[in-house]
Each structure stands twice: as structure tokens, then as C-alpha cells.
Amino acid sequence: MVKFVAFVDKHDALRGFNLTDMLKQKLFAEVDPHKKTFLSIKDWMNAFQTFTQDEHLMVELKNFLQVQFANSESAFFFF
């Protein structure tokens, strides 16, 4: 857990999330499903293998549009 937090802090990997220590612990527990208190490369790959940057950008764009506009029609007319 200590190395995980150090990695996250060093690389600012969770910028914008403003996680408390408790939330960092919960995140680590999700990535460490066997509760062995360390992460293997297999744990890391299983946790993040489905992540793609293009897909993530689309999710962020959709979330941004949902927050900024009341409905899809107002977003359409804005653009």
C-alpha cells in the first residue's frame, strides 16, 4: 500500500480525484483482490486491461456534456 500511494503521489496519477487516505486504501483493495497487501503485474493487468484512452475520453466528454447541458437538444444547438 505504501509503494502504491508513493507511486500515485509521485506521478500525480489520480489528479483531480482528491482522494482521502481511506479512499486510496479502498482503491488499493480493489486492485489487490486476493488481499495479499502487494500488487503483482497480474493484479495490475487484471484491474486495468480494459482501460483504453480513447474510450476514457469519450466517457469524459459524455459526462461533461451531461453536466453542461439540460438535454441533448440544447447541446446540439450549442454546437
Residue 25: per-residue pLDDT = 86
Write down the domain spans for the chain. Answer: 1-48, 51-79
Amino acid making up residue 51: F
- ∠ CA 40-31-57, nearest 5°, is 115
Residue 33: per-residue pLDDT = 77
pLDDT tens readout for residues 30-52: 888 778 888 888 887 887 787 77
Cα separation of the two ends of the chain: 45
Q: Which three cell numbers, joined as nine digits, stand for 47?
A: 484491474
Residue 11: per-residue pLDDT = 85
Phi/psi at 60 (5° precision)? -65, -40
Residue 26: per-residue pLDDT = 87
Residues of the chain scoring pLDDT < 70: none
Distance CA 45, CA 18 (A): 24
